[in-house]
A and B are shown apart, each in its own frame.
Chain A
Amino acid sequence: MRTGAIAWADVTASPVYLDAATAAPLHPVARQALLAALDDGWADPDRLYSPARRARRLLDAAREATAETLGVRPDELSFTSSGTSAAHTAVLGGLRGRRRAGDVLVHSAIEHSAVLYAAQQHVTGGGRAVEVPVDRLGRLDLDRWSTAVSGAGVASATLIAASHEVGTVQPVEAAAAACTRVGVPLYVDAAQVVGRMPVPPGWSVLTASARKWGGPAGVGLLVVRKGTRWESPWPTDERESGRTPGTLNLPAVVAAAASLRATATDAVAQATRLSSLVDRIRARVSAEVPDVEVVGDPVHRLPHLVTFSCLYVDGEALLHALDRRGFAVSSGSSCTSATLRPSHVLEAMGVLSHGNVRVSLHTGSTEAEVERFLTELPGIVAELREQAGVVGL
């Protein structure tokens, strides 16, 4: 039986995992909390016997710790069954709560697909959506945003805090100010930000996803500030302040809360460390891989994420080649997506979409891993180009 502290070495296998923006490896603190809560937190927290009361105490403590980290009131925070579910609920609930004000949803062109699918459902049901463009670096066009949220019949607005695909941090505070001026509530998708950097003020609704900070999959956060016109789009029950129905996976919620607290405590140091590794990747990839486009804002960006596209290279072939050498990355290239469409984020920015690689680091990522990636990448790309007969084009 295992005794003593669980270290990163136990949870990260030897392949170099560079896809934290999809899901960070389970944080050691999450694992410990999960195992403990499996024993203590299996009962329904809404019942009135003692195992239920124990579960209730765990849930209350998880909510208080998470609310404290986010700087919100515990009763403003609901746990959901996933980050996706939190995003759907945030979008549709914001529209429902303001349906008397209008039926227009304003959103950026680079929202997460979960937000765009919710917007699509709204439009299919007869509602309207206005998409606000971004520039070549993936930055929101603030003038167009201000005009859009000031339009007639705007019910709510949605902005991703920082792009999950290219890392560009969005001007949330200014976008929120534009919304406040016209009384439109702003929902901020903070999935890539929570646990890594502070969320700028001014929003009315916020969501996050535990697996992005090293918590387990299947836990989302939904925060609705007091006084926000917001109404749950689901058939409601008595759970989670009526915002999101269904029994929570309490051990996972406890693990999510514990790992968020641990991650947030260490966030500044990790952001500094990972950001300098990302700087190194940006510089070396540009210098050592010919015909590559490193995309996204080089300065105002997430600390842990970098995206680049290699000219004439098939994205799927590149992913598989990297996987064979032990590197796990993701891609926005169309050949790697189920829909065979390029990433809508790369499309909105107007940057090269094929041969695309997204590298995202986590707390367990080491300098040696990044070095190994940087050492092997130029050869892998060169080999693929040679096989495709595109050298010198």
Chain B
Amino acid sequence: MSAPDAVLDCLGQRCPLPVIALARRLPELPVGAVLRVLADDPAAAVDVPAWCRMRQQEFLGDAPGPGYDVRRTH
């Protein structure tokens, strides 16, 4: 797994805060960049991929942390 371009620390945050933080942070990165969201709320495992689907961003998969890698596609 390659290193992400940016890391967003949402450890300790409850749903839906990690997804909100992701939605705020991703547009600040250039298109093509990978953002790693660190989140230990179990709902993030469902909601981060679901957000990517709803927003047509690319969900790359789980990462250590626990975390989730998302690529900005537009």
Binding site for B on A (CB under 8 A): 291, 293, 309, 311-315, 333-335, 340-342, 346-347, 350-355, 388, 390, 393
Contacts and interface: CB of A to CB of B under 8 A. Distances in A.
B47 A393 contact: no
Contact of B42 (A313, A314, A342): A342
Nearest to A342: B43
A311 B54 contact: yes
A293 B24 CA distance: 20
Contacts of A311: 16, 19, 51, 54
Residue among B16, B20, B42 having the largest count of chain A Cβ atoms under 10 Å: B16
A293 B50 contact: yes
Contacts of B46: 342, 346-347, 350-353
A311 B18 CA distance: 12
A354 B54 contact: no
Given A293-B54, A333-B43, A393-B20, A354 B49 contact: no
Interface in B33-59: 41-43, 45-47, 49-51, 54
Residue among B20, B42, B51 having the largest count of chain A Cβ atoms under 10 Å: B20
Given A311-B16, A342-B42, A347-B46, 15 more contacts: A309-B50, A311-B19, A313-B16, A314-B16, A334-B42, A335-B15, A340-B14, A346-B46, A350-B49, A353-B46, A354-B15, A354-B19, A354-B43, A388-B20, A393-B20
B23 interface: yes
B24 to A, nearest CB: 7
Contacts of B49: 350
Residue among B15, B19, B41, B54 having the largest count of chain A Cβ atoms under 10 Å: B15
A353 B44 CA distance: 9
B70 to A, nearest CB: 14
A352 B47 contact: yes
Residue among B23, B41, B42, B47 having the largest count of chain A Cβ atoms under 10 Å: B47
Contacts of A312: 16, 19-20, 23
Contacts of B23: 312, 390, 393
Q: Helix, strand, loop or mixed for chain A's interface?
A: loop
Contacts of A309: 50
A314 B16 CA distance: 6
Contacts of B42: 334, 340-342
Nearest to B22: A393
Nearest to B24: A393
Given A334-B15, A340-B42, A341-B42, A352 B50 contact: yes
A340 B15 CA distance: 10
A314 B15 contact: yes
Contacts of A315: 15
Nearest to B41: A334
A291 B54 contact: yes
8 contacts: A311-B16, A311-B19, A312-B16, A333-B15, A333-B43, A334-B14, A393-B20, A393-B23
Nearest to A136: B53
A393 B27 CA distance: 10
Contacts of A347: 45-46
Contacts of A313: 16
Interface string B5-30: 00000000011100110011000000
A6 to B, nearest CB: 43
A175 B64 CA distance: 38
Nearest to B18: A354
Contacts of B51: 311, 352
